[in-house]
Structures are given as C-alpha cells and as structure tokens.
C-alpha cells in the first residue's frame, strides 16, 4: 500500500493559501476585477495616483524613474512621466533578457523604437542601460506588509536582489487589490511604498501616511 496521501488530501494541500494554485487563482480573480473597471473610473483613479505621487515624492523629477508599460488596465504612468520628463527626468523601461534572469532597464523617451516582449508588452529595442533611482512597480495584489502579487515570473524580486544598489520601490495598484496577505515566499521583497487612488502607505510598516483627495 502506498504511503502517499489520498488525492483529495493532496488537492487540499495544493490549494492552501500561499500555494501556487492559490496564487494563480487569486491573480486571475484580481486581474479580472481590474479589467472590469470602466475606463472613466480608471481615468479618475489614475489622476488621483498621479497627485499622490507628486505630493509624496517631490524628488521624482530627479534621476531616473523606471516604469512598466500598462497592461490589462494597470495604472498608466505615461501622462505623469511626460510631465516629469519636461522637467528633466529620465525614464526607463524593463527588458526581459532571459528566463529567470534579472531585468535590464533601458532609457526610453517617446519616439524611441519599441519591440514586443513577454505578454506582448513593448520594451526599448535600443537604449542605454541604467539602474533607476525610483521604480514604479504595478501590482495585481498587495498586503498590509507591502508584499506584492505579480504575474508569477519573479522578475522584479530577482532584479531587486541583483542590482548593485537598491532603488526606491513604489508599488502601484488600486484599493480593490488589497489582500489580507499574499503569504510571501522567502524570495519575495516588499515594496518600500504603496500608492493607490486613496493615498500612500509605507510598505514595510504598513503605516498609512496620506489620504489627500
């Protein structure tokens, strides 16, 4: 007789909070909810997030800001970054170099040639490789400790662990994405700050700092 657990016990363990199947299900649920939000509402939320970023991080216009091309109704940072570039900010987009490798950030400005990468997301075909001073990181979900639920590839965690110096990391999501816990794994790295349409949170301590509207 096999000592292996019955199939139903195995299935139950596989679906426990924090398991791969649980993360996949939660990711699917959160992305579907976000994609159901009407464009007009997203525009209002984006403008609120822009205001919070500018009010809380007055030095955003300095140095290099790394961002992600918006995907599946994520926050769109491009209008804000257009304003920042006008005052001298450099912006950079991530590039997937290969499976399980850290991301590379290339300087990008409107008009620069874009190619299509993972999930068909644009990335700079060329451009100087730089380490951003600030990263604006989209989140499918997040918890009060500042941990992020992404798409499961581990690219951002791997990148933050490998960079020669750590940028300031600002996770961006909508309030609807908050979770009691994402049950972080050993390699998960929390955001320094979290910004939603209702304000700014200190990611690691989960202290609510701002609720300007």
Got the DSSP string for 4-15?
SPPHHHHHHHHT
Mean pLDDT of 6-20: 66
pLDDT, tens digit (0-9, with 9 covering 90-100), for 141-153: 999 899 999 998 8
- pLDDT band at residue 6 using 50, 70 and 90 as cut-offs: very low
Share of the chain above pLDDT 70, in %: 89
pTM above 0.75, yes or no: yes
What pLDDT score does 12 carry?
A: 53
pLDDT, tens digit (0-9, with 9 covering 90-100), for 117-139: 888 999 999 999 999 999 999 99
Which of 74, 77, 194 has the alpha carbon at shortest distance from 142?
194
Interatomic CA distance for residues 127 and 106, integer angstroms: 5
28: left (phi over 0), alpha (psi -120 to 50) or beta: alpha
What the chain holds in terms of domains, given with CATH numbers, is 7-210 (3.40.50.10420)
- pLDDT band at residue 204 using 50, 70 and 90 as cut-offs: low
pLDDT, tens digit (0-9, with 9 covering 90-100), for 156-194: 999 999 988 889 999 999 999 999 999 999 889 999 999
Share of the chain above pLDDT 90, in %: 76
Interatomic CA distance for residues 186 and 183, integer angstroms: 10
Mean pLDDT of the chain: 89
- Other beta carbons within 10 angstroms of residue 172's beta carbon come to 29
């Amino acid at each position: 007789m096999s000592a292996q657990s019955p199939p139903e016990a195995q299935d139950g363990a596989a679906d426990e909070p924090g398991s791969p199947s649980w993360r996949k299900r939660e990711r699917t649920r959160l992305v579907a909810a976000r994609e159901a939000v009407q464009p007009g509402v997203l525009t209002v939320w984006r403008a609120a997030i822009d205001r919070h970023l500018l009010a809380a991080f007055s030095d955003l216009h300095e140095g290099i800001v790394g961002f992600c091309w918006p995907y599946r109704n994520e926050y769109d940072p491009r209008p804000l970054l257009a304003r920042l570039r006008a005052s001298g900010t450099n912006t950079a987009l991530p590039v997937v170099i290969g499976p399980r490798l850290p991301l590379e950030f290339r300087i990008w400005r409107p008009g620069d040639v874009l190619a299509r990468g993972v999930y068909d997301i644009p990335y700079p075909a060329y451009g100087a490789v730089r380490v951003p001073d600030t990263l604006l990181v989209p989140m499918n979900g997040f918890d009060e400790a500042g941990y992020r639920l992404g798409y499961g590839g581990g690219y951002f965690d791997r990148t933050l662990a490998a960079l020669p110096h750590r940028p300031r990391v600002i996770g961006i999501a909508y309030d609807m994405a908050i979770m009691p816990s994402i049950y972080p794994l050993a390699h998960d790295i929390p955001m320094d700050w979290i910004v939603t349409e209702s304000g700014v949170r200190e990611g690691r301590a989960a202290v609510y700092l701002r609720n300007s509207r």
